[in-house]
Amino acid sequence: MSDNHSSKAILYAFSANLAIALTKTAAAVWTGSGSLVAEAVHSFADCGNQVLLFIGMKRAAKQPTARHPMGYGRESYIWSMMVAITLFSVGGMFSIYEGLERLHDNHAVENAEIAIGILLAAVVMEALSLKGALGAMRGEQGSRSLWRWFRETYSSELMVVIGEDLAALLGLVVAAAMLGLTLLTGNAIYDAIGSMLIGALLILVALAVGYEVHALLLGEADREIRDAVTDYLSQQPVVVQVFNVWAINHGNDVMLAVKVELLPDLTVSQAVSLSNSLEKNIKAAQPRVKWVFFELDNAD
């Protein structure tokens, strides 16, 4: 996915979440709803998260230096991990705390009908934000399911935005349902439970995002590129055997390390020329491959 698509997805989500956060805050003050307080905090946390993602994306685009010859592509993963931690602490833990407080105090909810209407409007805005993020994801997703894409993507910024939007949309549904039960029964305990459920949902999303970003930070392999390169090399007449192919994600780029055995009767000059030709073809077929390191050997 291009940086341009990433920027659009982040800015679109930020604009939508800021409008939603202000709307929820006004509704929370008006109604005294714990679920709405939790949702307002969640939306403001999302706004802050999108600022962090944008900073990470810009820092990841810095040019390589002598100290960092492969550039700063993985820095986007660090900022995405910060977002996962923020989502856990600010969003999830606060929402659970708010729910427990209201469960203990049994605070009355006022104007619940208006609050539900506001939540339904927020659902529409959040759905539009999610639609924009999913649209930016289409080109990278291909034929994969959303869950498989989430497990395999290298685009940590888009992964976080989609995770946040899904959590926000589900959280809004939970808040509306709990406020509806409060309105029907007159018992504010459902509103408090709603706040805690929203917090638990945010924590689950934060853990899932954090787990995937952690794998990227450690240097996760791109299995699709690895398998495609392995198949390509195995089909070349000059390649006797493919011992190893590593395709490691480095932000939007991939570092490729290849260990192969070529025909034994080649001269050094011929082997070098063939290696360069194979590298050129690999880069042409796999645009994300930025670095290729060939090792010629006759054993693994």
Q: Which tokens sit at 196? A: 């805690």
- Residues 58-71 pLDDT 10s: 888 888 898 989 88
Q: Against a cut of 0.95, is the pTM above it?
A: no
- State the pLDDT at residue 126: 79
Q: Which fold has domain 3-218?
A: Alpha-lytic protease prodomain-like (1.20.1510)
Q: What are the structural domain ranges in the chain? A: 3-218, 223-296
How far lies 159's CA from each of 84, 89, 92, 163, 208, in Å? Answer: 11, 19, 18, 6, 10
pLDDT averaged over 10-residue windows placed end to end, the chain, 300 residues: 63 80 80 72 79 86 89 89 81 82 68 74 81 78 84 85 85 84 82 86 89 90 93 94 94 93 92 93 95 89
Q: Which fold has domain 223-296?
A: Alpha-Beta Plaits (3.30.70)
Q: Name which of 291, 295, 282 is nearest 243 in CA terms.
A: 295
- State the pLDDT at residue 45: 78
- State the pLDDT at residue 1: 46
- Residues 234-259 pLDDT 10s: 999 999 999 999 999 998 899 999 99
How far lies 166's CA from each of 89, 128, 193, 223, in Å? Answer: 18, 11, 20, 26
Rounded to the nearest 5 degrees, what angle is found at the Cα of 157, between the Cα atoms of 78 and 134? 160
- State the pLDDT at residue 35: 66
- State the pLDDT at residue 249: 92
